[in-house]
Structure 1
Amino acid sequence: MTDLQLGSLIAGGALVAAVYGFNWWQEYRYRKQANKAFARNQPDVLLDTPKNMVRSAAGTRLEPTVAAPRTEARQEPQLPTGVPDDFDDDLDDDIPVVNTPAPVRTAAPAPVRAPEPVPEPVRPVVREPAPAPQPVMREPVVREIAVREPAPARGSLDGEDVEVLATSQLDPKLDFVAEIHAGELIAAADIPTLPAGKRVEIIGLNVDDQWEIVTPNSRSSFAELRVGLQLADRQGALTQEQLNAFCMGVQQFADDFEAVVTFPQRSAKLQAAADLDAFCADVDVLIGLNILAVTQPFAMDKVRALAEQAGLARAGDGLFHYKSDSGKTLFTLSNQNQRPFGPTSEGLTLLFDVPRVAGGLAVFDYLNEFAHTLANTLAGDLVDDNGKPLTSASLANIRKQLAGIYARMDDRGIAPGSMAALRLFA
């Protein structure tokens, strides 16, 4: 063996040793960083959320008073027992239902009573007890409300419609969106369930270069993924612990497939989540009207007949629902004590979830008409949750404040009853 061969052998061995040593050092450094990151004590995002970060899913129940409507400053409504303190509504204490029955109820009987003494055989139709429900429950009103409810056409969706539907699932104003760019296609079956205490939605760019919603049953593979974590809902704002757990899960998933992931700035998104939650708490209003029995309980057969005549239908939850043409619930009729309906009822409650209803003012007017029809026909008292009678003045003030709530939602870009509203107030 010559000196040249011996030198080359030694140099080659030294080079191999250097490469091996460098790789070992790199592996040690990354292992140390990973252990440091995952060794942090991460609290359970579902069980350890502070109670003061959670707001009730029921919405604020507002009560009306006889006070005259206010024009400028609004005060917080009286909240019923059990509603958390972080519902800082700037509404007056008058808020649970609508009232516009006066002109309706007097329309039919007044003109027909004048000819009553005339013994014409043609007019026996006009009887003394002229039933109130018929003139109040006007079919055109029902149709008008239904038209105001936006009903997206549901039919066979082509590729473009599927892509529009998919991309509409994520909104940077409502979601923390992580973008994953993969070197190789990722099958839908390989996408894990990510840790999160909020709604998570995933859309993917498939081999046809179209975005689609990723579901457990999807058979597509994707070159890009967008993973959205909702910033707020009725349980409160997204917390830092929830966001950290989500980001770690997404990063681990991307590393497993040697993909590149980008995240928005976390601090800015956490602040946006807090602001969004504060706005939602301010407009999250639940309007309730109660019809209480005075002398004897209401017969449920009669209640059912009146409800069906008004367009309500009994649903699987046992409540009567008034729905739009697209099938969305506009308001419900339930037993006043929250128990299942029996043969009779001591009281009825009409509930209207304000931010989840499109065309809310028209629905509120119809809700008020139906409430007065029930009270008049069943000989019951229309009252608020404190048992105080609901007057025209207080209900008119409620309607005015309701219009203000809807205007603020529109200004925020969250239309009442829209997909965004249904997500935030779920």
Structure 2
Amino acid sequence: MSNFQLGLIIAGGVVLAAIVAFNAWSAHRNAPKRAKPPEPDGAAEPALRQEPAFDAGGAPVEGADVPGAGTDPSFDGHTVDLRDAMQLPVPPSERRGGLDPLIDAIAPLVAEQIVSGDAALAALPPTRRAGSKAFAIEGFNESTQQWETPVAGQRYSHFQAGVQLANRVGALNEIEFSEFVVKAQGFADAINAAADFPDMLHEVARARELDQFAGDHDAQLAFVLRARHAAWSPGYVQQNAVRLGFTPGAIPGRLVLPASGPGLPPVLTLAYDTQFALSDDPEQSAIRDITLSLDVAQVHRSEQPFARLREVAAALGEAMDGALCDQNGTPLPAMTMDPIAADLELLYDKLDSRELSAGSLLARRLFS
């Protein structure tokens, strides 16, 4: 074999090795980022909890205290609670609950005699809906002197039936009002009570006016965090989100940032394609974008949800090398967020003036 042939063989081997090395480097570079293994000193991520279910009014419920909701972008392993830093007040206790003439059509039901809770429960209709609207019956407890859903072992002097005037499906219509009357009258007959129903046309008109107000003041914000370079695995997304206080949701590919108190809907939602979370090998799934969303009417303004959304987006963007975009994929400069914040403050004021403050029980029922 000549020196020339030997040189060609060596050169070919070098080129082949270079190609293999480049392909390996390229595959590693483009592979989805994975979650880092636990720290050797035994440090653990914040405890994970399941996403809340729904309460009787159709509003999300979070029923336990929650971990801190923020961290600095360096992610040095020390969690920083953004709520402590901003000194956010805890939302006040609900002053109004149950049926309310502000958002419900209500019919008094006067019984001929005291009715036991057991008898009232046995007489309740099997469903708590009239069409697409929430339907409820409450009794006035003789002992507590409070309206409540009938409870076994209690005694009630009179009752009231109600149907919600509007929700995100639309306004109460004549068919739904008629269904409400049928159900309430059936309950009244069962407990020997006289029902006094409001005028249908008046209540339907009230429902349309309320629905118009709700439609004009409903805000659900969604922003996209898009990977600038390498994609993300589901574990990588969850690891970074958990460090900011998010907890896994009931739906795969969904995480929620709990509110500061029990019984309140989550402040923010983080979501990505469910198929990635359900794949046979999730760590090989390549997530290019995630969605951060805020349901304004469901969260009390004292939580400062939009400010926290901005903090979360900035922290995740820096840690995961992502760019904040609108739902069409257009990058959003920081200056575009200030006008949104100002508009939200005006929206909060308008909801307050209508006694439908964001995050209140009535607002959560109406905007559901």
TM (norm. structure 1) is 0.60
Distance 1:381 1:206 in 2: 56
Partner of 1:148: 89
Partner of 1:332: 269
Measured after TM superposition, the shift of residue 316 of structure 1 is 2.6
Measured after TM superposition, the shift of residue 182 of structure 1 is 1.0
Matched residue of 1:139: which SS?
coil
Partner of 2:175: 241
Change (3 A) 1:206 1:395: closer
Measured after TM superposition, the shift of residue 414 of structure 1 is 0.4
Partner of 2:347: 405
Whichever residue aligns with residue 300 of structure 2, its letter is A
Whichever residue aligns with residue 230 of structure 1, its letter is Q
Equivalence map 1:253-332=2 (5 Å): 253-318=187-252, 319-327=254-262, 328-332=265-269
- Identify the match of residue 135 of structure 2 among 172, 186, 200: 200
Equivalence map 1:88-103=2 (5 Å): none
Q: Deviation string for 1:182-217 (max 9, x for gaps)?
A: 1123322332317612111221124437334225x6
Partner of 1:229: 163
Matched residue of 1:385: which SS?
coil
Tell me if structure 1 keeps the 8 A contact 2:259–2:303: no
Change (3 A) 1:254 1:146: farther
Distance 1:332 1:201 in 2: 30
- Percent sequence identity over matched residues? 26
Change (3 A) 1:257 1:382: closer
- Identify the match of residue 364 of structure 1 among 306, 328, 350: 306
Partner of 1:188: 120
Matched residue of 1:329: which SS?
coil
Distance 2:197 2:233 in 1: 59
Whichever residue aligns with residue 352 of structure 1, its letter is L
Q: Deviation string for 1:295-336 (max 9, x for gaps)?
A: 22113343223212211122332322111122430001111x
Whichever residue aligns with residue 170 of structure 2, its letter is G
Tell me if structure 2 keeps the 8 A contact 1:151–1:326: no
Distance 1:219 1:232 in 2: 33
Change (3 A) 1:274 1:338: farther
Distance 2:113 2:325 in 1: 64
Whichever residue aligns with residue 143 of structure 1, its letter is D
Whichever residue aligns with residue 134 of structure 2, its letter is R
Tell me if structure 2 keeps the 8 A contact 1:149–1:358: no
Distance 1:140 1:253 in 2: 50
Measured after TM superposition, the shift of residue 151 of structure 1 is 5.6
Are 2:116 and 1:179 aligned? no
Tell me if structure 1 keeps the 8 A contact 2:88–2:303: no
Whichever residue aligns with residue 333 of structure 1, its letter is L
Whichever residue aligns with residue 350 of structure 1, its letter is L
Choose 1 or 2 for highest CA Rg.
1
Distance 1:257 1:308 in 2: 52
Whichever residue aligns with residue 242 of structure 1, its letter is E
Distance 1:298 1:350 in 2: 16
Tell me if structure 2 keeps the 8 A contact 1:357–1:417: yes
Tell me if structure 2 keeps the 8 A contact 1:188–1:214: no
Measured after TM superposition, the shift of residue 277 of structure 1 is 0.8
Distance 1:387 1:324 in 2: 29
Aligned-pair RMSD on alpha carbons? Answer: 2.8
Distance 1:396 1:261 in 2: 52
Partner of 1:159: none
Q: Deviation string for 1:250-279 (max 9, x for gaps)?
A: 234434544222122322221111111111
Partner of 1:420: 362
The number of residues matched between the two structures is: 282
Matched residue of 1:133: which SS?
coil
Whichever residue aligns with residue 239 of structure 1, its letter is N
Change (3 A) 1:351 1:182: same
Whichever residue aligns with residue 245 of structure 1, its letter is E
Q: Deviation string for 1:222-276 (max 9, x for gaps)?
A: 2210111111111111001111221133234434544222122322221111111
- Identify the match of residue 347 of structure 1 among 283, 289, 293: 289
Partner of 1:70: none
Partner of 1:251: 185
Q: Deviation string for 1:119-171 (max 9, x for gaps)?
A: xxxxxxxxxxxx84359x98352236684341649xxxxxxxxxxx8x73111
Q: Deviation string for 1:324-351 (max 9, x for gaps)?
A: 122430001111x354533242211111
Partner of 1:103: none
Distance 1:191 1:145 in 2: 50
Equivalence map 1:386-401=2 (5 Å): 386-401=328-343
Measured after TM superposition, the shift of residue 371 of structure 1 is 0.8
Distance 1:190 1:377 in 2: 56
Change (3 A) 1:266 1:324: same
Q: Which runs of 5+ in 2 are unaligned?
A: 1-71
